[in-house]
Amino acid sequence: MILEMKVPSPGESITEVEIAAWLVQDGDYVEKDQAIAEVDSDKATLELPAEESGIITLKAEEGDAVAVGEVVCLIDTSAEKPSGASKAAAPKEEVKETPKEEKKAPQPVQAKETYASGVASPAAKKILAEKGMEAGAVKGTGKDGRITKEDAVQAVPSMGTPTGGKRGESRSKLSMLRRKVAERLVSVKNETAMLTTFNEVDMSPIFELRNQHKESFKSKHGVGLGFMSFFTLAVVRALELYPTVNSMIDGKEMITYDFCDISIAVSGPKGLMVPVIRNAENLTFRGVEAEVKRLAIRAREGEITVNEMTGGTFTITNGGVFGSMLSTPIINPPQSAILGMHNIVERPIVRNGEIVAAPIMYLALSYDHRIIDGKESVGFLVAIKEALENPVELLMDGNVMKALEL
* Residues identified as active-site: 369, 373
Is residue 370 within a helix (H) or strand (E), and if so which, with residue range? none
3-class DSSP state of 290: helix
Cβ atoms of 249 and 313 within 8 Å: the answer is no
Type of residue at 75:
I
In b/e form, how buried is each residue of 83-104, taking b as 16+ CB within 10 angstroms?
A: eeeeeeeeeeeeeeeeeeeeee
CA 213: distance to chain centroid?
34
Type of residue at 119:
V
Cβ atoms of 326 and 241 within 8 Å: the answer is no
204-221 helix and 285-300 helix, angle to the nearest 10 degrees: 80
3-class DSSP state of 29: strand
Cα–Cα distance for residue pair 76/343, rounded to 1 Å: 56
Residues facing 189 on adjacent strands: none
